[in-house]
Chain A
Amino acid sequence: MNQITQEMRNLAKQLLEEEKVQLVMGWEKGSFWYNSTPVFVSKVEDVDKLIWDEFCAANLATYLLDDRFSDEKIALFVKGCDSRAVNRLVQDKQVKRENLYLIGIPCPGMKSAKAAKELGQETKEELPLEDKCIYCTHHNPLVYDILLGEEVALDDIAATAEVSRFEGVEEIEAMTPDERYAYWQDHYSRCIRCYACRNVCPACNCTECCFDLGQTWLERDVTPTGNQVYGIIRAFHVAGRCIECGECERVCPMDIPIMKLNRKIAKDIEELYGPYEAGLDTETPPPLGHYKTEDPDEFM
């Protein structure tokens, strides 16, 4: 067992015993060697379920929305992306920071469960990273109450632009409108509208979602056009608030390159309003959520 796992369990035990929190959210081992899955520990005898390994990609913060107005004290483990998700929810006033005990874990990058399944356990050492981790710019948690382990140097590497936050966007930008339409049509025609991308997303935190109100915004028939409309509406609804955690793309059962859309919008926002990454703190207002006199206004 690794050191972090041991520390996780000790800390969870202590927090529950001292009644500092009623619930600890972490990861446990899933069905196969390549899955680690969310676990919810409220009893001391269950703390040994907790683990930390190279497959803990799932973002736990979204679960805070299950009971968003509760006053329960909750501890959760946060990697870089998870910590930005917590900031997202706090800034969007969905959860109260004071009800959370954040246990930061610097993240070396998670291994791809999909590749693991295909390549087999012998390749465990050489597995590629999850896509979301390849482009990650914040491996160290940005907000926490206590940190387990040592900060990793990856963020400095990312900051030197060796990690392209906007990977793949140029490819889309270089397309003609027709090519672009065909590209998205090809991908979204296989969307099954399961809404996993929305349900896992910390920026999709509306209590009533526009896709749940029957036919008002988007009809329920699953058509290539409707699916694209779905993808575009969702991308716009999270524009400027998307923390680029890549969870939507990771959970998509149809492997739709959702992050290309999100990254394109993030890039446009940087080009229009200057450098911005969502979820780094809870104070900086999202560029599309406020107004500055120097905002570009060439359409006026």
Chain B
Amino acid sequence: MKGIKKSQLSNFLQQVSAKYSLYVPAQVDGVTRFQKYSSEREPFLTANTQLSPKELFFPQTEQLYCYETHKQEVKVEELAASSEPQVLFGVRPCDMQAIGVLDDVFLGKGYEDVYYRAKRANTLIIALACSQAEATCFCDSMGVDPAFAPQADLMMYETEDGYLIEALSDQGKDFLQEFSSALEELRSEKPQAPACELKAETDGLVEKLQKMFEHSVWAELSRKCINCGTCTYLCPTCHCFDIESKTRGGKEVKFRCWDSCMYKEYTLMAGGHNPRPTKKERVRQRFLHKLQYMPERYGKWGCVGCGRCIDKCPVNLDITKVIRELREVEA
């Protein structure tokens, strides 16, 4: 199979970055996330990134448009940048599955989000198979193969001497063609898929949860949650946003920014009523959204098992434990 020798990786990345906006996982200022490639920036490929690649399609803050008014006239100016062709290198299978979830939300069911589409449609994704699962990874319980990402354009496998690479989509094939001079025949075999130690048993879960909206277990499960936004902001599939505006000079700028169902304000209505007044309702929403509403609406889990929330939740409210408890209690 064709591939890139480890010693040739930076050469390859440089060639790609000469033609496309290239993003690679990298550690910058103490945090790992997808960053624009530059030759000084060593890609971080030993584990998944702390921040998910969703921010490339759905940034935490995105200016949409601005307007000025003069008497009866309104001048509107679009701000959301149309995106240049970009390449994402080294997306893990769980995150690729999550991008599929975001595609369903932002592009599916007859409504297209133009801001998301502008970036997504211009992006080619090179996924990287995992050869090792972290202690917090449980993707193989959530319908993800840690060694294969079918929705990616290209699939890469790390071996001793380099990275095997194969095209999965037509764009992926063209890309391989384009950079064929940077590839060479590698003799190594595709590595085995790792097995995640952490497990979540999900069969029958959706049907069970359908009967559990009013269950007393939610009050128990949510007790330790401090309703920060950490889990939802780090989650590669969470996609809630708020639209707000601010005035700068005579201009009003509309922007959208991530929002979180963990916040009290999220459901606070004009007049003061809040249909999710306590953390019980908020935590229930988070888990039902991922484990019931998403599968009902899109036929796939809203959790891809990346483990970020387990790793970073300040109180260790672990979704795999939640699933276990939900299975154990009587519906």
> Which residues of A pack against B, CB within 8 Å?
30-32, 35, 37-40, 58, 62-63, 66, 117, 186-187, 189-190, 192-196, 199-200, 212, 214-215, 219-223, 250-251, 253-255
Chain A to chain B: the 4 pairs with minimum beta-carbon distance, closest first: A251-B314, A196-B228, A30-B316, A194-B229
- The verdict on A200 contacting B29 (CB below 8 Å), with A194-B229, A212-B265, A221-B255 known, is no
Render B254-298 as a binary contact track against A, CB cut-off 8 A, 1 for contact.
010110100111000000000000010000000000000000000
- A255 and B31 form a contact (CB under 8 A): yes
Q: Does B187 contact A (CB under 8 A)?
A: no
Q: Does B233 contact A (CB under 8 A)?
A: yes
- B244 and A194 form a contact (CB under 8 A): no
Q: How far is the CA of A253 from the CA of B233 in the complex (A)?
A: 10
- The verdict on A221 contacting B230 (CB below 8 Å), with A31-B318, A37-B315 known, is no
- Name the one of A31, A62, A196, A212 contacting B316, with C-beta atoms under 8 angstroms: A31
Q: How far is the CA of A31 from the CA of B265 in the complex (A)?
A: 30
Among B223, B234, B246, B263, which residue has the most Cβ atoms of chain A within 10 A?
Answer: B223
- B31 and A66 form a contact (CB under 8 A): no
Q: How far is the CA of A37 from the CA of B29 in the complex (A)?
A: 29
Note all chain A residues with C-beta closer than 8 A to B233. 192, 194
- A219 and B230 form a contact (CB under 8 A): no
Q: Does B135 contact A (CB under 8 A)?
A: yes
- B31 and A190 form a contact (CB under 8 A): yes
| B231 and chain A: residue at smallest CB distance | A194
Note all chain A residues with C-beta closer than 8 A to B30. 190, 254-255
Q: How far is the CA of A117 from the CA of B316 in the complex (A)?
A: 13
- Name the one of A31, A66, A223, A253 contacting B310, with C-beta atoms under 8 angstroms: A31
- The verdict on A221 contacting B312 (CB below 8 Å), with A194-B233, A255-B30 known, is no
**Chain B interface residue number, banded:** 35 or more
- B316 and A35 form a contact (CB under 8 A): yes
Note all chain A residues with C-beta closer than 8 A to B135. 32, 117
- B228 and A251 form a contact (CB under 8 A): yes
Given contacts A62-B226, A221-B244, 20 further A-B contacts (CB under 8 A): A31-B198, A31-B310, A31-B321, A37-B224, A37-B315, A38-B223, A186-B29, A187-B29, A193-B60, A200-B226, A200-B314, A212-B264, A215-B246, A219-B246, A220-B244, A221-B255, A222-B257, A251-B226, A251-B228, A253-B312
Note all chain A residues with C-beta closer than 8 A to B224. 37-40, 63
Residues in B198-228 with C-beta less than 8 Å from chain A = 198, 220, 223-224, 226-228
Note all chain B residues with C-beta closer than 8 A to A186. 29
Cβ distance A149 to chain B, nearest Cβ, rounded Å: 24
* Residue contacts A-B, CB under 8 angstroms, 30 given: A30-B318, A31-B310, A31-B316, A38-B223, A38-B224, A40-B220, A58-B315, A117-B311, A190-B29, A192-B60, A192-B229, A192-B233, A192-B234, A193-B60, A193-B229, A194-B233, A199-B227, A200-B226, A200-B228, A220-B242, A221-B246, A221-B257, A222-B61, A222-B257, A222-B258, A223-B61, A251-B226, A253-B50, A253-B234, A254-B31
